Chains A and B, each alone.
Chain A
Amino acid sequence: NAGVTQTPKFRILKIGQSMTLQCTQDMNHNYMYWYRQDPGMGLKLIYYSVGAGITDKGEVPNGYNVSRSTTEDFPLRLELAAPSQTSVYFCASSYSILGGASGVYEQYFGPGTRLTVT
């Protein structure tokens, strides 16, 4: 059981380039999330998904896109990379402990992708 895996681990992009950060989980969790972690700022939610085919914006979605065609995969796409997108990106998945959309969740995180845009 690998849990949540992310690729690549590191990436340097030039301004204007695009790339896809991959995220896969093998725990059959319905809920998946993308966060970015900036120094001194904690983690901010970019996008999330409550199931295959369903995605929604988080707190900081501008400059990103996501898709969820399967339960396992939740890729994050950066179009036209900008220096402000330099960050560490974490993918996470969760299940509901008590059931339902308002239940209590425990999130499992991937190891992160460190992205630098220059």
Chain B
Amino acid sequence: AQRVTQPEKLLSVFKGAPVELKCNYSYSGSPELFWYVQYSRQRLQLLLRHISRESIKGFTADLNKGETSFHLKKPFAQEEDSAMYYCALSDWGGKLIFGQGTELSVKP
């Protein structure tokens, strides 16, 4: 069955520390994976997608098909990174299968 798992509900780090938000997936085909972010009182927005292999706001994510993972990383966390992060898998017709979300809290 198609599934996305984010094992951490809450991740708390200090400013300047490295961050890794974990995401594992289960998908029968060739996966298209995304990270979406929701800042406080704002709508959900796309952070990055694996197909473009880009870095947004210092975040990167590499698709590891062997480990079925798509972890989100940033070498030095900033306070403005505090938000809810969702890993998502794209199914047929663009439907998204979301993980449970990880709340990132960056402390000063």
Contact = CB atoms under 8 A, between A and B. Distances in A.
A107 B49 CA distance: 11
A43 B98 contact: yes
Nearest to A31: B94
Nearest to A58: B95
Interface residues of A, number: 29
Interface in B25-45: 32, 34, 42-45
A92 B45 CA distance: 10
A31 B43 CA distance: 18
A35 B9 CA distance: 20
B46 A107 contact: yes
A42 B6 CA distance: 10
Interface residues on B, range: 20 to 34
A31 B93 contact: yes
A10 to B, nearest CB: 13
Given A33-B95, A42-B98, A58-B95, A109 B90 contact: no
Interface string A97-109: 1000111111101
B45 A109 contact: yes
A12 interface: no
Interface in A14-56: 31, 33, 35, 40-45, 48, 50, 56
A106 to B, nearest CB: 6
Nearest to B101: A42
A54 B43 CA distance: 26
Nearest to B9: A40
B70 interface: no
Contacts of B98: 35, 42-44
Nearest to B42: A111
Nearest to B86: A42
A33 B96 contact: yes
